Amino acid sequence: MNESTFPGTENEMDRLPERFSAPEQVQPISMPPSPTSTPGTSAPGTGPERPAQQPARALPDNYAEMPKPTAKLTAEDLAPVNDPNGPRHKIGPTGRPLPDLPEALPPTRTGPAQVIAMCNQKGGVGKTTTTINLGAAIAETGRKVLLIDFDPQGSASIGLGVQPHDLELSVYNLLMQRDITADEVIQPTRVENLDLLPANIDLSAAEVQLVQEVAREYTLQRVLDPIIPLYDVILIDCAPSLGLLTVNALTASNGIVVPLECEFFALRGLAMLTDTIAKVQDRLNPKLEIVGILGTMFDGRTTHAREVLDRVVQAFDERVFHTVIRRTVKFPETTVVGEPITTYAPSSSAATQYRDLAKEVLARCPAG
Ligand X SMILES: Nc1ncnc2c1ncn2[C@@H]1O[C@H](COP(=O)(O)OP(=O)(O)OP(=O)(O)O)[C@@H](O)[C@H]1O
Site string for ligand X, 47-86 (x = CB under 6 A): ----------------------------------------
**For the chain, what is the largest distance between any 2 Cα atoms, rounded to a whole number of angstroms?**
67
Report the residue number whose CB is nearest to Mg ion: 128
**From the list 30, 328, 343, 348, which residue makes contact with ligand X (rule: CB under 6 A)?**
328
Apex CA 159: angle with CA 154 and CA 162, to 5°? 65
Looking at the Cβ atoms of 155 and 276, the one nearer to ligand X is 155
96 touches which of Mg ion, ligand X, none (CB within 5 to 8 A by kind)? none
Q: How many residues bind ligand X (CB under 6 A)?
A: 19
CA 366, CA 368: separation in Å to the nearest integer? 5
Window of 20-28, 56-64, 75-83, 321-329 that interacts with ligand X by CB under 6 A: 321-329
Is there binding between residue 332 and ligand X (CB under 6 A)?
yes
For the chain, the first-to-last Cα distance in angstroms comes to 35
Report the site for Mg ion in 102-131 (rule: CB under 5 A): 127-128
CA 77, CA 97: separation in Å to the nearest integer? 12
Report the site for ligand X in 108-147 (rule: CB under 6 A): 123-129
Is there binding between residue 297 and ligand X (CB under 6 A)?
yes
Looking at the Cβ atoms of 155 and 157, the one nearer to Mg ion is 155
Report the site for ligand X in 149-178 (rule: CB under 6 A): 151, 153, 155
Is there binding between residue 335 and ligand X (CB under 6 A)?
yes
Looking at the Cβ atoms of 58 and 294, the one nearer to Mg ion is 294
129 touches which of Mg ion, ligand X, none (CB within 5 to 8 A by kind)? ligand X
CB of 123 to ligand X, least distance (A): 4
CA 108, CA 195: separation in Å to the nearest integer? 20
**From the list 240, 243, 255, 368, which residue makes contact with ligand X (rule: CB under 6 A)?**
240
328 touches which of Mg ion, ligand X, none (CB within 5 to 8 A by kind)? ligand X
Residue 221's φ and ψ, nearest 5 degrees, are: -60, -40
- In the chain, the DSSP E strands lie at 114-118, 145-150, 187-188, 194-197, 233-238, 255-261, 289-296
CA 110, CA 142: separation in Å to the nearest integer? 10
325 touches which of ligand X, Mg ion, none (CB within 5 to 8 A by kind)? ligand X
CA 248, CA 284: separation in Å to the nearest integer? 10
Grouping H, G, I as helix, E, B as strand and the rest as coil, residue 87 is coil
Is there binding between residue 221 and ligand X (CB under 6 A)?
no
Per DSSP bridges, beta strands 187-188 and 194-197 are: antiparallel
CA 345, CA 25: separation in Å to the nearest integer? 43
In the sheet that holds 145-150, the strands lie side by side as: 187-188, 194-197, 145-150, 233-238, 114-118, 255-261, 289-296
The dihedral sign for the CA sequence 71, 76, 77, 83: positive
Is there binding between residue 2 and ligand X (CB under 6 A)?
no
Is there binding between residue 248 and Mg ion (CB under 5 A)?
no
Looking at the Cβ atoms of 172 and 331, the one nearer to ligand X is 331
Binding stretches for ligand X (CB under 6 A): 123-129, 151, 153, 155, 240, 296-297, 325, 327-328, 331-332, 335
Binding stretches for Mg ion (CB under 5 A): 127-128, 155
